[in-house]
């Protein structure tokens, strides 16, 4: 009887260890997914949105599927041989709060406040997040040409709406 209890206890301990490992992997995959989304946004910003070809009027599309848990296809529209920029290419694109939110993993996004401040979107921490999480946020903000404003309790990240 006691042998069975020992085996059950060992099995329970092992299951707990496996669950912890799975949770760590899940967090890493969320972070990778957020990074891939940010890269996809950056790629679509650098790619022209329309084609201006005399022989064809429909844009060429290329669909790629990320090799992560999130298998939503990303459609990129490429330009053939256009030499003059169209109106869509020359207009300045602005970031929305949703664009900025989407750049962060879900677990971090829940710990941040996003606010529209005219030319900028500010991100304030709801609580102390530790150096690792702070570094992740800072890296993502820098990737969007953002900066950290150190102002005591009013410290925040400031990300320009205008995409460069």
Distance, CA of 160 to CA of 65 (rounded, Å): 30
Q: Indicate the length of the chain as a whole number.
A: 164
* pLDDT recorded at residue 5: 84
**pLDDT tens-place string over residues 13-55:** 888 788 778 877 877 777 777 777 767 766 666 655 554 454 4
128 closest CA partner among 118, 137, 120, 141 = 137
* pLDDT recorded at residue 79: 46
Which residues does residue 75 pair with via DSSP β-bridges, in sequence order? Answer: 63
Q: 28: part of which helix (H) or strand (E)? A: helix 2-46
Distance, CA of 62 to CA of 68 (rounded, Å): 18
* pLDDT recorded at residue 81: 43
Q: Residues 76, 145, 77, CA angle at the centre, nearest 5°?
A: 10
Cβ(133)–Cβ(139) under 8 Å? no
**pLDDT tens-place string over residues 90-122:** 456 888 999 899 999 998 999 999 999 999 999
**pLDDT tens-place string over residues 125-156:** 999 889 999 999 999 999 999 999 999 999 99
Distance, CA of 131 to CA of 67 (rounded, Å): 29
Distance, CA of 36 to CA of 74 (rounded, Å): 11
DSSP single-letter state for residue 31: H
Q: Please identify which residue in the block is written with the tokens 């707990």.
A: 16
Q: How far apart are the first and last CA of the chain?
A: 69
């Amino acid at each position: 009887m006691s042998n069975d209890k020992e085996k059950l206890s060992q099995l329970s301990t092992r299951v707990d260890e496996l669950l912890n490992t799975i949770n760590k992997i899940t967090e890493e995959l969320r972070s990778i997914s957020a990074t891939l989304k940010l890269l996809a946004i950056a790629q679509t910003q650098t790619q022209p949105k329309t084609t201006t070809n005399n022989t064809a009027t429909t844009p060429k599309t290329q669909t790629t599927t990320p090799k992560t848990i999130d298998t939503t296809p990303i459609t990129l529209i490429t330009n053939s041989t256009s030499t003059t920029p169209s109106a869509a290419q020359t207009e300045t694109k602005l970031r929305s709060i949703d664009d900025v939110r989407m750049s962060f993993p879900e677990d971090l996004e829940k710990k941040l406040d996003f606010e529209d401040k005219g030319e900028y979107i500010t991100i304030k921490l709801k609580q102390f997040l530790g150096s690792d999480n702070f570094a992740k946020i800072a890296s993502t903000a820098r990737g969007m040409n953002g900066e950290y404003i150190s102002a005591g309790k009013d410290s925040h990240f400031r990300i320009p709406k205008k995409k460069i």
